[in-house]
Chain A
């Protein structure tokens, strides 16, 4: 018998078919189950459909279980640790490796240079290159090494940078320097000490203590008086506006003709 063939049995056919899934899942009541089983014994069409559905479910339940790779949990734990590390180093983690290494190297360089400048402010890289040390002689002619540092009159061990202004017209330059320093005394020049014994008609030495923040201004003004010698580079290096500490400096104004006199001073 095939129940789906006749219109009169069509409702029964649909009803039985709708029960197949519940039957498969064991969700039919004993009475419904018995009724369906008895129908399946009689109706070939329904039996075929039921059999096919049952086979489908059986195929699914018999699918082989795969074993996950043995390293799976280890990989996940490693990824979790890596993720934690990335969170610790934050945004740098997502930069390319060469960029983060470069940034780190640059940062290290800046820090070490800053420390060098703070701890050894008088050190000059040029002196390293030219093989000179920190004991300099006063410069009289441009061909000779520049006189950059001298000791204070009190015989203190700290070297004082020396700025040599070689001028053609000594008397005029000396007048200008004196008036400029007078106008600056106070906030810009803390202490001014002319070294009388060494003053002459063609040379003058002055020791100054200048607050760090005004040092650049002073250099600028000194430029107007006469040209600076080779020591200017090292002296300019001291002109850091952030420095609060006063800077001691010795200024030597010398007429070009009195080079011999300067050589004398050296000794």
Chain B
């Protein structure tokens, strides 16, 4: 059998399993919810981590998202994909959490910590462990992922979320427009602006 056909069959099987679990969850079955959660927790956790830039906060927020999903699962009628519905909850919860953390100066403190690290590469054990710690090499050796995350943290939440959903997690424009309740044209223009902003931030860091 063709690999593409197999992959499609696999997707169908997964979707059926998911539907079955959702149906059980709607009847209040917590064990089925735990199984359903295991299917999606990695994606949601990575989304929250990229949005907040902090592992502990991301874990806490992921828990809250799934709690909210369980509370509202009776309202899920299966019109959209479960993941799309789950991401709508995740987006709402993340928006609220960002507001909450911003009121407590969480992002300002986070940025100060990152800034301190960046100014003192010689005090960074990761950097010292590297075999070739020249200033030219530093942007490559000091975990490029960290720099990208720092840039993401500096972007406004709306800009950040569209970049994470599209370019990090690979959702299509249709899925994005459903999740964000925007028309595909608006999604596209917002994404282009977001990419340009990130591009600028990374260019500034390299310089």
B59 in complex: contacting residue of A63, A64, A72, A79, CB < 8 Å = A72
Shortest CB-to-CB span from A122 to chain B, Å, is: 53
If A21-B192, A72-B62, A73-B37 touch, whether A63 touches B168 (CB-CB below 8 Å) is yes
Asked if A57 and B167 make an inter-chain contact with CB atoms under 8 angstroms apart, the answer reads: yes
Binary B-proximity of A183-206 (CB < 8 A = 1, otherwise 0): 000000000000000000000000
Closest to B167 in A: A60
Asked if B42 and A59 make an inter-chain contact with CB atoms under 8 angstroms apart, the answer reads: no
Using Cβ atoms and an 8 Å threshold, which residues of chain B touch A75? 63
> Taking chain A's interface residues, is the majority helix, strand, or loop, or is none over half, making it mixed?
helix
Number of A-B contacts (CB under 8 A): 78
Identify which of A53, A69, A73, A76 gathers the most chain B CB atoms within 10 Å of its CB. A76
Using Cβ atoms and an 8 Å threshold, which residues of chain B touch A74? 34
Asked whether B128 is an interface residue with its Cβ less than 8 Å from the other chain, the reply is: no
Using Cβ atoms and an 8 Å threshold, which residues of chain A touch B192? 21
Asked if A72 and B50 make an inter-chain contact with CB atoms under 8 angstroms apart, the answer reads: no
B70 in complex: contacting residue of A56, A64, A80, CB < 8 Å = A80
Residues 136-159 of B contacting A (Cβ, < 8 Å): 144-145, 148-149
Asked whether B21 is an interface residue with its Cβ less than 8 Å from the other chain, the reply is: no
Using Cβ atoms and an 8 Å threshold, which residues of chain B touch A52? 199, 203
Asked if B199 and A56 make an inter-chain contact with CB atoms under 8 angstroms apart, the answer reads: yes
A53 in complex: contacting residue of B38, B46, B170, B195, CB < 8 Å = B195
A65 to B58, CA, bound (A): 13
Using Cβ atoms and an 8 Å threshold, which residues of chain A touch B42? 65, 67-68
Closest to B63 in A: A76
Interface residues of A (CB under 8 A from B): 21, 25, 52-53, 56-57, 59-61, 63-69, 72-77, 79-81, 83
For the complex of A and B, 10 pairs with smallest distance between CB atoms:
A68-B45, A60-B167, A56-B199, A73-B37, A21-B192, A73-B34, A76-B66, A68-B41, A77-B34, A60-B168
19 contacts between A and B (CB under 8 A): A21-B188, A53-B196, A53-B199, A56-B195, A59-B144, A60-B167, A63-B50, A63-B168, A67-B42, A69-B59, A72-B62, A72-B63, A73-B41, A74-B34, A76-B37, A76-B63, A76-B70, A80-B33, A83-B67
Interface residues of B (CB under 8 A from A): 30-31, 33-34, 37-38, 41-42, 45-46, 49-50, 55, 59, 62-63, 66-67, 70, 144-145, 148-149, 163, 167-168, 170, 173, 188, 191-192, 195-196, 198-199, 202-203
- Beyond A60-B168, A68-B41, A77-B30, 12 additional contacts (C-beta under 8 Å) are A21-B195, A53-B196, A53-B199, A57-B195, A60-B148, A61-B170, A64-B145, A68-B42, A72-B41, A72-B45, A75-B63, A77-B31
